[in-house]
Structure 1
Amino acid sequence: MAKKDSYHEFLKHDFNKLFEGIKLGDVQRHFLRSRWLDQVLWMEAKANLSRNRHYFLRITTIVGGVILPALVSLNINTTLKVNNIETNTRLRDVIIWSTFGLSQVVAISAAIEEFFHYGERWRHYRRTVESLKTQGWQFSQLTGHYRNYTNHEQAFNLFAGQVEDIIQRDVEIYATQVVQEKKEEQQSQENYMVIPNTKITNLEEKKEEK
């Protein structure tokens, strides 16, 4: 937690120090801090959070998926060479419950990752925040899109427009993903409802034939 906070503070301090050396008006400086820097820090935090959750869930699913077959093979094996029958029974109970518990953990972690799409969110936030950083550095050095301007005040309108375009694309992509996820969820629910209805229809047809 301290490491994440220290990097967050480093970015904030580093960019504020960069702004101090740029000749801009008060309104323009307010935009830099309240719009551009605020979005950079927020998306950086969201990208790191999504990455950590994606890694945790994926590693849990992978490691659990590797261990499960070994537990299943031990569970199937009925010739455990243990002299004490009570110990044998107790050991089998431990294996059975361990297999059941681990299978639930693997299924839940995979379901959470599938539902929230942390991997996609991580890559989405990372692309957006890096685009914002690129615009900030190019603007500060008057390179890239701003190479034809002689000072930052002249280039500021273009910079503000680029920042707003990036944020707007981010909102549109996020909204599209949310709509797509809702459609997929609705489709899965409809498919779940169709299967029982099909079975009931088949039973009614068989009764009519009789």
Structure 2
Amino acid sequence: MAKKDSYQEFLKQDFNKLFEGMKLGDVQRHFLRSRWLDQVLWMEGKANLSRDRHYLLRITTIVGGVILPALVSLNINTTRSVNDRVKNVIICSTFSLSQIVAISAAIEEFFHYGERWRHYRRTVESLKSQGWQFSQFTGPYRNYTSHEQAFNLFAGHVEDIIQRDVEIYATQVVQEKKEEPQTQENYILMPNAKITNLEEKKEEE
């Protein structure tokens, strides 16, 4: 946790030093700190959090999935050769591990931490790229000679990135909510369709 906070603090200090060398008005500096830098730090934290949860759940599922068959095999092979206490320990361990694996896989499937991590990482890197290009007058800002002149274009790019991030995230959430009812509806309608077809054939005969 300390490493994450220290990295975010490093980013904050580094970009604040960068801002000090720019000739900008108070309103423009306020935008840089309250809008651009705030979004960079927030998405950096979200990306790291989603990455850590994705790795934790995936490793738990993978390692547990590898150990579980061995426990099941051990449980079967030692049923008659060990005492009841050891057998109960093996059975409880097998059951508990199977539940942990199932829960980890279900949580990852529901929250999609891997997708969130990649989504936040792409967005925050786009914002960082815009910030560095703006500071160095490269990319879309290469034709400008001062930060004050290029600021409107920079602010427009930042808002476009943030808006696109919100739209993509909202679309993914909506799709996830719609997928399940549609799937259930398909399962319900398909048998009904078959029944209807059979009834039509009987009527024709």
TM-score using structure 2 length: 0.88
2:74 partner SS: helix
Residue of structure 1 in register with 2:101 after alignment: 106
- Deviations 1:145-174, CA, capped at 9 Å, x for gaps: 100001111100100000000001000000
Name 2:152's counterpart in structure 1.
157
1:117 counterpart = 2:142? no
Q: Report 1:171-186 matches (<5 A).
A: 171-186=166-181
Shift of 1:184: 2.0
Cα shift readout 1:6-41 (whole Å, capped 9, x = no counterpart) = 111101000001000000000100100010000000
Unaligned ranges ≥5, structure 2: 196-205
Q: Aligned with 1:48: secondary structure?
A: helix
Q: Offset at 1:188?
A: 5.2
1:181 shift after superposition: 0.8
CA distance in 1, matches of 2:183, 2:86: 40
Distance in 2, matches of 1:189 and 1:75, equals 38
* Equivalent in the alignment of 2:35: 35
1:170/1:66 CA distance change after superposition, 3 Å: same
- In structure 2, what residue type is equivalent to 1:17? K
1:166 aligns with 2:182: no
- The answer for unaligned runs of 5 or more in structure 1 is 83-87, 202-210
Matched, 1:67 2:67: yes
Which residue of structure 1 lines up, in the alignment, with residue 8 of structure 2?
8
Q: Distance in 1 between matches of 2:186 and 2:59?
A: 30
> Per-residue displacement from partner, 1:41-79 (whole Å, max 9, x unpaired)?
000000000000000000000000000000000111146
Size of the aligned set, in residue pairs, is 192
C-alpha distance in 2, partners of 1:22/1:181? 44
CA distance in 2, matches of 1:156, 1:76: 70
CA distance in 2, matches of 1:105, 1:190: 31
Distance 1:48 1:69 in 2: 32
Query: Which whole-Å deviations, capped at 9, do the CAs of 1:66-120 have from their partners, x for residues lacking one?
Result: 00000000111146544xxxxx111111111100000000000000000000000
* 1:90 alignment partner in structure 2: 85
2:6 and 2:29 mapped to 1: Cα distance? Answer: 24
SS at match of 1:150: coil
Tell me, in whole angstroms, the C-alpha distance in 1 between the residues paired with 2:53 and 2:115: 11
- 1:53 counterpart = 2:53: yes
Percent identity, please.
86
CA distance in 2, matches of 1:90, 1:111: 32
Aligned residue type for 2:149: Q
